[in-house]
Amino acid sequence: MRITNATLADGREADVRVSGESIAAVGDLDPEGDEDVLDAEGKLLLPGMIDVHVHFREPGHPDKETWTSGSHSAAAGGVTTVVDQPNTDPPTVTGEAFDEKAELAAPSCVDYGLNGGVTADWDPDSLFDRPLFALGEVFLADSTGNMGIEADLFESALRRATDEGVTVTVHAEDADRFDESARDRPGDDYDAWSAYRTPAAELAAVERACEVAGEVGARIHVAHTSTPEGVDAAARAGMTTEVTPHHLFLSREDLEELGTYGRMNPPLRDEARREALWERLVDGTVDMVATDHAPHTRLEKDRGVWEAPSGVPGVETALPLLLNAAREGEVGYERVRDLTAAAPAERFGLDRKGRIEAGRDADLVLVDPESTRPIHGPDLHSRCGWSPFETFEGVFPEWTMLRGQFVYRETTTGATGAGGPDAAFREGVGRNVRTPE
């Protein structure tokens, strides 16, 4: 297959030849034999997004998400690789639990990695015998799944992971820095969750995690960093960070409208911190964007602020939101490419992914950079059926390719009501990126 006249993220116009699962050549290419030709004139061709932080909820909660629905949502949003976190039911803290999740992931239409977790019941010997992507999300405060751990166990896990050559991803919040007085606020005070889980709690945990990593000689990755102070602390220590679309595009000012649909961990921050995160994203201090895609049902979310679970969906809307921001001049297309593909590939050793270069996997996404449509939860493919970005404009893929195969193709333009644009998916072609071929 030869994709012609495509515009790449750096502004070059190029042809891209796909042979089997790989990119064979990039440049001004002559025809070869009877290859299929796709004309991409006026379109932007990107490497597929690598989302290193999703919760696809299986095993345990298929009512919220399954590997089929979650991977469909990913592919429709231009994501070709996801990394699933361990706080499922049962949590992925033993080799047996890892095997159960790996079997459930078989229908995935995108590539994936599976993280192992750490609790008092973890079995590191059996867990490290599996093809782990990383160890994490290691929780330094309780979140969905109640997997928060003590400092001694964190240090022990970090040492073991370092010996095994496995990266540790950290959920950095220090519960001792939570503001317990916020608990006196009523359940319909939707800002109470942000007041409770303070910015100081994140900063203290980031600094401590980085300090321990330095003592051990490890290099951790800080998940869903929600404050500029946390980003700066990790950067000073030589650690990497990710930020989420909800911390980039939403703030505490949106909570009156969002209600508990805006509750997540870490919580939304004030507008000044949101803007400061954007500054660090643009200037290169932030390493990557990951979604922390964490769907819950409407029934669960329609509770008071102290009862509703934390988490929002986002795997289908992250790249479209960032591309729309690039279209509006808020960030460059090259920076979007690096944040969503090149940087996570480099950080986590995915040598065949992340860039449009000869020899890399043909994980490709085609978009019309000037074609937008509003986000509507029922039009998305996540099982939960809602989005915190309702009515935000996004630049969505026309098609998504995984290792040379189309895994998503939009067959109509524009939203068509419930279910969104008609789409074709290719199921069961994803594979664990840590499993040797």
Q: Which residue has tokens 């992340």?
A: 354
List active site positions.
292
The 3-state DSSP class for residue 435 equals: coil
Which runs of consecutive H residues, i.e. helices, occur in 359-419?
A: none
What the block records as the tokens of 292 is 């922390």
Top pLDDT among 137 and 432 is at 432
Instruction: Answer yes or no: are the C-beta atoms of 47 and 353 closer than 8 Å.
Output: yes
Produce one character per residue of 95-123: b if its CB has 16 or more CB atoms within 10 Å, e if not: bebbebbbebbebbbbbbbbbbbbbeebe
Alpha-carbon distance of 233 to 249, in angstroms, equals: 22
If one counts every other C-beta atom within 10 angstroms of the C-beta of residue 276, the result is 17
pLDDT in tens, 216-231: 999 999 999 999 999 9
**Count of other CB atoms within 10 angstroms of residue 297:** 16
Average pLDDT for residues 342-346, to the nearest whole number? 98
pTM, two decimal places? 0.95
| SS3 of residue 355 by DSSP | coil
Tokens for 95? 């080799």
Q: Which of these, 375, 408, 400, 340, lies nearest to 9 by C-alpha position? A: 340
Rounded CA separation 150/122 (Å): 13
Helix or strand or coil: residue 434?
coil
pLDDT at position 25 over 50:
yes
Q: What mean pLDDT do residues 155-175 have?
A: 93
> Token pair for residue 302?
């329609």
Residue range 99-113, pLDDT digits in tens = 999 999 999 999 999
Expressed in percent and rounded to 5, the helix, strand and coil fractions of the chain are 30, 20, 50
Angle at 329 between CA 372 and CA 222, to 5 degrees: 90
**Which residues in the chain are classed under CATH 3.20.20.140?**
49-347
Q: How confident is the prediction for the chain on average, in pLDDT? A: 94
For residue 139, what pLDDT is reported?
67
Is domain 49-347 classified as CATH 3.30.390.30? Answer: no
pLDDT surpassing 50 at residue 420: no
Q: Say yes or no to pLDDT of 385 above 90.
A: yes
pLDDT the model gives residue 421: 55
What does the block give as tokens for 68?
């089929």
pLDDT tens readout for residues 241-282: 999 999 999 999 999 999 999 999 999 999 999 999 999 999
Place of tokens 């440049």: 27
In the predicted model, is pLDDT for residue 142 greater than 60?
A: no
Query: 56 forms bridges with which residues in the sheet?
Result: none
Whether residue 411 has pLDDT greater than 90: no
**Whole-angstrom Cα distance, residue 175 to residue 165?**
29
Confidence of residue 415 (pLDDT cuts 50, 70, 90): very low
Lowest mean per-residue pLDDT among 119-128, 312-321, 392-401: 119-128
What average pLDDT does this structure show over 71-100? 97
Question: What would the pLDDT profile of 350-365 be if each residue is shown by its tens digit?
Answer: 999 999 999 999 999 9
Q: How confident is the model at residue 413 (pLDDT cuts 50, 70, 90)?
A: very low
Kindly report, as residue ranges, where domains of CATH 2.30.40.10 are found in the chain. Answer: 2-44+357-425
pLDDT digits 0-9 by tens, 52-62: 999 999 999 99
- Cα separation, 44 vs 232, whole angstroms: 32
* Distance in Å from the first CA to the final CA of the chain: 23
* Tokens encoding 304: 């008071």
What's the pLDDT at 419?
A: 40
Share of the chain above pLDDT 90, in %: 89
Domain boundaries 2-44+357-425, corresponding CATH code: 2.30.40.10
Q: Are strands 221-222 and 168-171 parallel, antiparallel or unpaired?
A: parallel
As a whole number, mean pLDDT of residues 408-426 equals: 63
3-state SS string for 274-290: HHHHHHHHHHCCCCEEC
